[in-house]
Amino acid sequence: GQQTAATGFPTHTGPLFLPYATCCATGTRRYVYEKVGNPDDTMGPPWDTDYSWRVQLAGYQLTLVENAVVHYRLRHGARARFLQAYNWGDKQLNLQLRYGMTPWPRYLAYCLYGLAQRGANLVFGTLSGKRPFSFWVWHWGFARGQLNALPRLFMAQMRGQGAMRGGAWEEQRGETDQS
């Protein structure tokens, strides 16, 4: 799983790289919810990351409840897993638009590196027999979805939409230049 007592919360998602709780295992105290508000369903699949970041930017910490048990049924077929991951990867752009965009050439390089790495994992991981093809295809789908979002990132940057790198984070923490 992504979040366990041993590993804690994942932090691998940019642009903020703050810890986040995955949606199948999220609970919020009422006073935090009343301050932060509803999750933003316009974010798409990364709503959980967005909400976790909003909670932290409002001054609260995420807490892992080690004895909580969650039953979450994963998609098993390769096509279903690819499509789910593709959608998640594509919608990661919403985090970039809200919290600070990576310049599109860097994002392209990141996407191409991810595709190459996950493509190799798809082939050699499956051949190793350690995990089934449907496991590896999820990561390939996520990388393809991220690449699919590149034209929208490019257009948003050309139009000056969204926050550039660090904008929302600095504004929330009061670190912007006031001159």
Instruction: For residue 167, name the pLDDT band (cuts at 50, 70, 90).
Output: very low
Q: Write down the pLDDT at residue 163.
A: 64
CA 93-20-13 angle, 5° bins: 40
Q: Which residue has the higher pLDDT, 179 or 56?
A: 56
Give percent of the chain with pLDDT exceeding 70.
83
Half-sphere exposure of 145 (CA within 13 A, CB side): 22
What b/e readout covers 100-119, taking b as 16+ CB neighbours within 10 angstroms?
bbbebeebeebbeebbeebe
For residues 1 and 66, give the distance between their C-alpha atoms in angstroms, rounded to a whole number.
13
Q: Is the dihedral of CA 63, 26, 57, 149 positive or negative?
A: positive
Q: Write down the pLDDT at residue 66.
A: 79
Instruction: For residue 143, name the pLDDT band (cuts at 50, 70, 90).
Output: very high
- Whole-structure pTM value: 0.78
Q: For residue 149, which of 103, 108, 90 has the smallest C-alpha distance?
A: 90
Q: Which residue has the higher pLDDT, 13 or 9?
A: 9
Tell me: the pLDDT tens digits for 75-127?
A: 888 999 999 999 999 999 898 888 887 888 888 898 899 899 999 998 998 89
Average pLDDT over residues 160-167: 61
Q: For residue 44, which of 92, 96, 99 has the smallest C-alpha distance?
A: 92
Instruction: For residue 2, name the pLDDT band (cuts at 50, 70, 90).
Output: low
Q: Which residue has the tokens 């984070």?
A: 169
For residues 71 and 65, give the distance between their C-alpha atoms in angstroms, rounded to a whole number.
15
Cα separation values, 65 from 39, 93, 148, Å: 21, 30, 36
For residues 141 and 145, give the distance between their C-alpha atoms in angstroms, rounded to a whole number.
6
Tell me: the pLDDT tens digits for 73-87?
A: 778 889 999 999 999
Average pLDDT over residues 137-158: 91
Instruction: For residue 172, name the pLDDT band (cuts at 50, 70, 90).
Output: very low
